[in-house]
Amino acid sequence: MADSLYLSLWYPNLRVATLADKVAAVLSAFAAHGGEPRVYAATVWPVSWSESPVFQRVWGHGERGVEPRQAVEETLELLHDDYAYEFQIAWNLWELEVQPQASEATLDARWVRAPRLVRVTAFGPLFDDGSYEQDGHVRIDFGSDAPFLEEDADLDEVGARHVEENVRQLVELTSAIEKESGASARLLWSEMGESLAQRLAARLGMRN
């Protein structure tokens, strides 16, 4: 069963005034690890997730997007301790695309390298009653973990290679983000609380 995958990052003695530098460093790391160099969209949430956004901007895909530093500076003009700042950026992964064949009642599966929108959220210390303590000062929502497992597919040599490439890209990205943004702690976690590493080991037939 597919699950949602997140990366949480914490920074020592973080002040809200330095939040912009951290999230800009996180967004900038994507370009070197399968992601787009430009930010697609941004949203600012006040107080808690139940409130309506006070700022929303969609720049667009590809060349229509804006550089991470520009996106962060524009979005964090409304800098408050109880706000959350969400950015969307594209990240390319191998995914199994299944389409019905026209001539018969079967499914045609093929691997395609396609972009998915990843959400990068920076939390003010007072947002949602201090949710940063659990979620991180910065949290990355990768979406479904299916590209790293493809548990519903029979993996042949090609499929296993694409899954392994996705996993390697994830590992390299998370390591780069931690280093380049100066995080003191990071946690890769899933919504259901299961270990991605253990599920990968079982999926690819490996042993610890």
Predicted confidence at residue 152, as pLDDT, reads 74
CB 42 within 8 A of CB 56: yes
Q: How many CB atoms lie within 10 A of CB 113?
A: 12
What is the C-alpha end-to-end distance of the chain, expressed in Å? 22
CB 45 within 8 A of CB 106: no
The answer to whether position 195 is within a domain reads: yes
Gap between the Cα atoms of 176 and 163, Å rounded = 20
CA separation, residue 122 to residues 14, 60, 183 (Å): 12, 21, 13
The answer to whether position 153 is within a domain reads: yes
Name the amino acid, one letter, at 5: L
pTM of the model: 0.90
Token pair 């380049």 is found at 180
Nearest-Å Rg of the Cα atoms of the chain is 18
Predicted confidence at residue 101, as pLDDT, reads 55
Predicted confidence at residue 7, as pLDDT, reads 95
Q: What is the DSSP letter of 4?
A: E
Predicted confidence at residue 98, as pLDDT, reads 74
The answer to whether position 84 is within a domain reads: yes
The answer to whether position 8 is within a domain reads: yes
Tens of pLDDT along the chain (208 residues) come to: 678 999 999 999 999 999 999 999 999 999 999 999 999 999 999 999 999 999 999 999 999 999 999 999 999 998 999 999 999 999 999 998 876 655 554 455 789 999 999 999 999 999 999 999 999 999 999 999 999 988 777 778 888 899 999 999 999 999 999 999 999 999 999 877 766 767 766 666 653 3
Predicted confidence at residue 3, as pLDDT, reads 87
The answer to whether position 208 is within a domain reads: no
The answer to whether position 137 is within a domain reads: yes
Orientation of helix 157-181 relative to helix 19-29, angle to 10°: 150
Predicted confidence at residue 208, as pLDDT, reads 39
Predicted confidence at residue 109, as pLDDT, reads 73
Pairing of strands 55-58, 83-100: unpaired
Number of domains within the chain: 1
Predicted confidence at residue 201, as pLDDT, reads 66
For 75-106, letters b (16+ CB in 10 Å) and e give bbeeebebbbbbbbbbbbbbbbeeeeeeeeee
| Residue ranges making up the domain that contains 159 | 4-203
The answer to whether position 54 is within a domain reads: yes
